[in-house]
Structure 1
């Protein structure tokens, strides 16, 4: 009975991690939209409003920017990619380099995350983390298609 409860709790916790990440993404998108709207209102107030309207619109715009900055900082504090270590030493790769299969094994492939600001990987391509670098690798041949150096440096 206790084992069943423990397994159930573990499954629920494992299912909650993607939901939390998705909620953070939605919050960032909402904050971006709000910043755009407040910027538009601020520009309209500068063009057509009096000093009080401009001051109020500027305050709202600053608040929206602060909210976006805080949302991004919360997302960056996400611990999933923080303590990355590989069983091999760091080596800088260039476009066209050929990787050994150990470098792009499924354990090092990352699921696409729209918060990275990168395009989705096409067929037979995968994003691979190599220390702080992000590599776009052809998983059939091991050829590096694109390198994003220090992509995870801020973590």
Structure 2
């Protein structure tokens, strides 16, 4: 009986937090809605009056603000995904640039980001992998060891 009471209390405290957090798809939908409003603004600028244009601009600004807030809320509620912190590697930190050549020690399979879509990273090309190097994310051509793209301080 005691276990059931404790489980009930845990569920009551966790459920409101889960219910209030927005899902990734909801945030994406609000971003799509923003794009539609931007299209409407462009059309209003072509064919509408000044009053219509002002209203459309205000609507687009409000939608942009909402999308930024939605992404901020999403990142706050999914801190485990975007967590930085004390990430250890058997080598010291180097600030890699595009075109630099890395030794294979730096891009072993244990440093691969296996699910780049979880972090909203673009799809890697053929023979390319996203690598985590401390708090940076590097797109590396695994055949030549060349750095193709760099996102600095991606993990905070």
TM-score by length of structure 2 reads 0.62
**Which residue number corresponds to residue 124 of structure 1?**
127
The answer as to whether partners of 2:136 and 2:152 remain within 8 angstroms in 1 is: yes
**Which residue number corresponds to residue 145 of structure 1?**
147
Q: Which runs of 5+ in 1 are unaligned?
A: 1-19
**Offset from partner CA, 1:51-75 (integer Å, 9 cap, x none):** 5534433332222111211122234
Aligned length: 131
**Which residue number corresponds to residue 113 of structure 1?**
117
Indicate how the Cα distance of structure 1 residues 57 and 136 shifts in structure 2: closer, same or farther if over 3 A, else same: closer
Root-mean-square deviation (CA, aligned residues, Å) is 3.2
The answer as to whether partners of 1:99 and 1:144 remain within 8 angstroms in 2 is: no
The answer as to whether partners of 2:84 and 2:135 remain within 8 angstroms in 1 is: no
The answer as to whether partners of 2:27 and 2:67 remain within 8 angstroms in 1 is: yes
**Which residue number corresponds to residue 81 of structure 1?**
82
**Which residue number corresponds to residue 92 of structure 1?**
95
Indicate how the Cα distance of structure 1 residues 149 and 33 shifts in structure 2: closer, same or farther if over 3 A, else same: closer
**Which residue number corresponds to residue 28 of structure 2?**
29
Pairwise CA distance, 1:34: 1.4
Secondary structure of 1:107 counterpart: helix
The answer as to whether partners of 1:99 and 1:143 remain within 8 angstroms in 2 is: yes
Pairwise CA distance, 1:114: 7.4
Structure 1 stretches of at least 4 aligned residues deviating more than 6 Å after TM superposition: none
- What is the alpha-carbon distance in structure 2 between the residues aligned to residue 121 and residue 43 of structure 1? 33
Pairwise CA distance, 1:115: 5.9
Secondary structure of 1:91 counterpart: coil
